[in-house]
Chains A and B, each alone.
Chain A
Amino acid sequence: MFLIIVEKSNEVIYIKITKIAKAGTLESNDILIMVMPNDSGNIELELESIVMQQFGDVIEQVILHKVKEMGIEGITIKAQDKGALDYTIGARVETAIKRAI
């Protein structure tokens, strides 16, 4: 498990999430995403994965990319990955955020 904090930049207009929400499952090929608002304004990510050594960096990028693409700030993400492909990771992050707005 590791923790990443991305600091907020001032150039973009951000949306805030308002509640805690989850998406995905702990089944093989899936990822469970939990998002919650935080006051720091940063993106904080806690990632656990069964393929951490081989794909940890990629998974992290996919999650952060999706959060930024959706223009979200002040979010803490907990991700438990069971070998999900990128498309699943993106879809689960998007679902969790939409549920939390």
Chain B
Amino acid sequence: MQKLRRTMLFMPGNNPGMLQDAAILGADAIILDLEDAVSLTEKDSARILVRDAIKYIDYSQVEVVVRVNPLDTEFGPQDVDVIARVKPDTLLVPKADVEEIKLVDIMLAKIEEEEGYLVGSIKIIALIETALGLETVYEVIKASQRMVGVLLGGEDLTADLGITRTKEGEEIFYARNKVATVCRALRVDAIDTPFTDTNDYEGLTKDTARAKSLGLTGKSAINPRQIEIIHAVFAPTEVELKQALRVLAAMEEAEKEGKGVFSLDGKMIDAPVINRARTTVELGQRLGLIER
């Protein structure tokens, strides 16, 4: 089954207690953060701690993503070099543009070879948080075979654009559209920017529903208490579940009759539709919305 990325939870990289609990908080993916959550004087400390956390802590329940520092800082290249050697699932590359992604791709390939890992096994998610990154997001995703998703960074993006970030998020409407559409076109995940008021659950619900309606497939979280709400929004609706179950039933029927190709309600059902129905049903089962 395809990995779910409904939620990606940011966890500060220099906090041992949080690193220990990160896997059990219910997020689909955890982002162990070496960038914004770590002060300049603790970059070395966090890098080593996160490296050892990945080595020793059981993170098998979640996707382990590490946000490294930008490659043009003194910390970024060291982060990639140290962290890639313990083989996280994915690196989250900040201030992503084509050049940076290509550079990370090459560095990863070299490390994978040296360490005897399958080349290409470490994935990349691009953090789109500059105007240039946003406008070239198609090329950014194309820049590496490792690319599995894009995370939209609303705070830095609006800062780069010189506009005000608001709770309602009207100012990132275009960015969300653009990221969602390009990601859909290239079949990678589109992860929304976090909602920063961790005590406003109603606002979070609205913001997440908005992102979902625009085609984003998941949302990052900065507090574990946000996870459940985001999952609830991304949970399939009753209508979606019914339709998915019908698709799978029709498929079984067709298989029994030995038909390779079949249709439902006059529409051809192809592999992507079946896969999507499977994902929806699986999700519905995991969420206890329908019985196994």
Contact = CB atoms under 8 A, between A and B. Distances in A.
Contacts, number: 42
Contacts of B56: 85-87
A23 B45 contact: yes
B20 interface: yes
Contact of A90 (B15, B20, B44, B52): B52
A27 B17 contact: yes
A87 B44 contact: no
Contact of A91 (B15, B17, B20, B49): B49
A57 B142 CA distance: 53
Contacts of A95: 44-45, 48-49
A40 B153 CA distance: 53
A79 B55 CA distance: 23
Nearest to B57: A87
A88 B44 contact: no
A45 to B, nearest CB: 20
B51 interface: yes
Nearest to B49: A91
Interface of B: 15-17, 20, 44-45, 48-49, 51-53, 55-57
A28 B17 contact: yes
Chain B at the A interface: SS class: helix
Contact of A94 (B16, B48, B55, B57): B48
B15 to A, nearest CB: 8
Given A85-B16, A85-B20, 10 more contacts: A87-B16, A88-B49, A90-B52, A91-B49, A92-B45, A92-B49, A95-B44, A95-B49, A98-B44, A99-B44
Nearest to B21: A29
A84 interface: yes
The list of the 8 closest CB pairs from A to B, nearest first, reads: A29-B17, A87-B56, A88-B16, A87-B52, A91-B49, A91-B52, A95-B45, A91-B48
Contacts of A85: 16, 20, 56
Contacts of A92: 45, 49
Nearest to A30: B16
Contacts of A74: none
Nearest to A29: B17
Contact of B16 (A29, A98, A99): A29
A37 interface: no
Nearest to B55: A87
A84 B14 CA distance: 13
A38 to B, nearest CB: 23
Given A92-B45, A98-B44, A87 B53 contact: yes
Interface in A66-101: 84-88, 90-92, 94-95, 98-99
Most buried by A among B16, B17, B52: B16
B23 to A, nearest CB: 14
A14 B271 CA distance: 62
Most buried by A among B15, B20, B48, B57: B48
A7 to B, nearest CB: 28
A24 B48 CA distance: 11
Most buried by B among A27, A84, A91: A91
Nearest to B18: A29
5 contacts: A28-B17, A29-B16, A30-B17, A86-B56, A88-B16
